[in-house]
Structure 1
């Protein structure tokens, strides 16, 4: 039998699962102890006490049988067996219950109403509905009689104490275990927060703590984070240095070209401008999300400023109405996210006639969408399009100038640095490419 359906009802967090693992054995143990206690205490002890009371009831019934008349039954029992503290009252047939009477939670009563009639055939019924008294209706030579005595003589006193003690000490031990477990899980949660922050481009202070295994995982995370940061720094320094060093000969070439004739200078200056654009693209790719710090950002204001800047640059960009009911701000790297938006808008207007930008902001998700009316990208090549230095010339229009294949790669890296993703699909409304930056809040 498959228990896959059970996964949907299991808690998701590590803390909740650990508490469940802790509580299940405790509850199971209490249930087992309760069953054993009911079997051994309520049944065995109650049976012994019932047998003792049965002998006393036989004596009382023999005294009733020797009474001179029906009215002297109670007096005869008091005179002959006063030490038993049993009272006898004659009753009519209508006053005799037709069945055994007990409360549903009276476990010892189940033994009494079964065992007493089997020991004494004269017993008609037993009434255990009164908390402190037992009423036994028996047939005598003078008709039915109600025999009453203290309940403590036939049942163990305070049987609930074991349940109270089990619940109290079980709850106490559970609370102590949960507090200890919470203290043990705190280092794991700190490691998870530090790893999540690093995945979103933030550097959160972290020092390994907790058990040996958690410390080992923490040290491994710190080593990994240090290596990644060192590699990013080295890559940035290398490409920045190369790009900076190339700017000087490019500037000299531009000055030298200015002295040539116009017909000779035009094509060469275009080559120099292309080289300059490539260097700028390389620098933007190196920076990605590493420039600037994260801060609370209003996504609507960020997108509006990006669209307005694109319009001032002469691009045909339209800002669509916002969607969602989200309010407040989102922690973003403003410079990096602005660079990603600029790249997506630039690609949209380069390969299409117009672009539309919209924002979906909810309590859990931020989605920034850029759509164009260009040729789009085939579905089987969209993953390839997000890789660095990839140019899909057959798929995209190059009439308005080509790039170096870093625009979507930069946007992808920035989205990943914020813990999000860049999704490419087809625009239903415009027919071109639809690029969505989706970030969880």
Structure 2
């Protein structure tokens, strides 16, 4: 029989109740066999040794009580003497209640099989009505036997029916299980702590934060993983530093001839003003393209993430956009803070707002915290982007508008991805495009 999607599944039920952490599952692996082992030991003791001892102790008490009854039946006139002698030898306390009849007693609350064993043994020895009162006194059990002319009440010390080793054995089982589980928990916690630190450091490094080298600890495999992670961090830092130095040199080498071209144009004597403006504009556009390409290649990787006032960052970006001619509104609560790379996020927001104001008359900028996620929205009232093209616009050099480089959204997604977040495009209610940036808060 095949299960339908969403139907009952044993694996799904197990996943629902199993611990989700490695420490919890490791402790469960230790705890389950430990409990089963102690349970089997208790069952063997309880089912064999304890039952056998209980039957023998109950049989001894029942035989002694039966011996007393038989002697009284053979010599009714010597009942007092028989009671006195049997009490002295058997540690009983016996009282005869003349003209009494047995009354009904509540079920016994004795732990273990001793109550059934005693009742069974008394039934075999007495051959007459009887009952057992377990709760009359804390130190005694009362056996009431119906005689011809009354009730014989026999108080038997509880210690004659119970063995103290059972409770010692039970305490030993629970104590050793707790001790072993505690030692296992401390050991496993030490082992898992190394994996947890490695995962935390990897996540922070992936979001652009530099946690520094982590201390290898735990098992040898975990130490090797931590050492490999430290070496990887060092290689990436060295690579980023070398790339930044190289790009700085490339930027300088490219801008130097453009500057000479600009100076040469200014010194040309016979150039129409209109032609001069066009050539100067071409050079400025080339400089802007070079700056954009270098920014995309650099990826803003050297900046460190710090706690940042998101509301103030949005205000600064909006003010710059207004100076460039944009009509923009902001909605963000005061004191909204998140850990991010501020200059990199400023570039992301600037690129997205520039893209929006080129196609729309009005732009809305907002931010809010939802759980553990920072959500920033840029909305516009432009024509929007068809659903089929929303993934294409994030690819470099595939600009949809004339004069663009196609790098604005690619740079934005690259920076947001380095923060551990993502960018989503939606239709804006009422027309236009809604860009949502989600970042870990």
For this structure pair, what is the TM-score category when the shorter chain's length is used for normalisation? 0.7 to 0.9
Matched, 1:389 2:397: yes
How many residue pairs get aligned? The number is 428
Match of 1:403 in 2: 404
The alpha-carbon deviation at position 119 of structure 1 amounts to 4.6
* Secondary structure of the corresponding residue to residue 136 of structure 1: strand
**1:271-329, Cα deviation, whole Å (9 max, x unpaired):** 2222111112123223333243221112222222222222233211111254xxx9663
The alpha-carbon deviation at position 139 of structure 1 amounts to 2.6
The alpha-carbon deviation at position 95 of structure 1 amounts to 6.5
Aligned CA distance change for structure 1 residues 305 and 8 (closer, same or farther; 3 Å): farther
Match of 1:293 in 2: 304
Matched, 1:302 2:321: no
Matched, 1:78 2:84: yes
Matched, 1:318 2:318: no
| CA distance, structure 1, for counterparts of residue 160 and residue 110 of structure 2 | 21
| CA distance, structure 2, for counterparts of residue 372 and residue 402 of structure 1 | 21
* Secondary structure of the corresponding residue to residue 371 of structure 1: strand
Aligned CA distance change for structure 1 residues 327 and 86 (closer, same or farther; 3 Å): farther
Q: Confirm or deny: 8 A CA contact 2:69 2:126 kept in the other structure.
A: no
Aligned CA distance change for structure 1 residues 111 and 233 (closer, same or farther; 3 Å): farther
Match of 2:256 in 1: 248
Matched, 1:435 2:441: no
| CA distance, structure 2, for counterparts of residue 384 and residue 224 of structure 1 | 32
Aligned CA distance change for structure 1 residues 360 and 152 (closer, same or farther; 3 Å): same
Gaps of 5+ in 1: none
* Secondary structure of the corresponding residue to residue 296 of structure 1: strand
| CA distance, structure 2, for counterparts of residue 369 and residue 119 of structure 1 | 90
Q: Confirm or deny: 8 A CA contact 1:336 1:414 kept in the other structure.
A: yes
Matched, 1:167 2:160: no
| CA distance, structure 2, for counterparts of residue 114 and residue 306 of structure 1 | 91
Matched, 1:103 2:109: yes
| CA distance, structure 2, for counterparts of residue 88 and residue 59 of structure 1 | 13
TM-score normalised by length of structure 1: 0.88
| CA distance, structure 1, for counterparts of residue 116 and residue 433 of structure 2 | 77
| CA distance, structure 1, for counterparts of residue 145 and residue 368 of structure 2 | 82
Compute the RMSD of aligned alpha carbons: 2.6
Aligned CA distance change for structure 1 residues 97 and 296 (closer, same or farther; 3 Å): farther
| CA distance, structure 1, for counterparts of residue 313 and residue 106 of structure 2 | 80
| CA distance, structure 1, for counterparts of residue 98 and residue 261 of structure 2 | 127
Match of 1:264 in 2: 275
Match of 2:286 in 1: 275
Match of 2:424 in 1: 423
Gaps of 5+ in 2: 1-8
Match of 1:200 in 2: 207
| CA distance, structure 1, for counterparts of residue 31 and residue 123 of structure 2 | 43
TM-score normalised by length of structure 2: 0.88
Match of 1:121 in 2: 127
Aligned CA distance change for structure 1 residues 104 and 414 (closer, same or farther; 3 Å): farther
The alpha-carbon deviation at position 362 of structure 1 amounts to 4.2
Matched, 1:352 2:363: no
* Secondary structure of the corresponding residue to residue 428 of structure 1: coil
Q: How does 1:176-187 map to 2 (within 5 A)?
A: 176-187=183-194
* Secondary structure of the corresponding residue to residue 280 of structure 1: helix
| CA distance, structure 2, for counterparts of residue 109 and residue 244 of structure 1 | 98
Matched, 1:361 2:369: yes
| CA distance, structure 1, for counterparts of residue 411 and residue 99 of structure 2 | 97
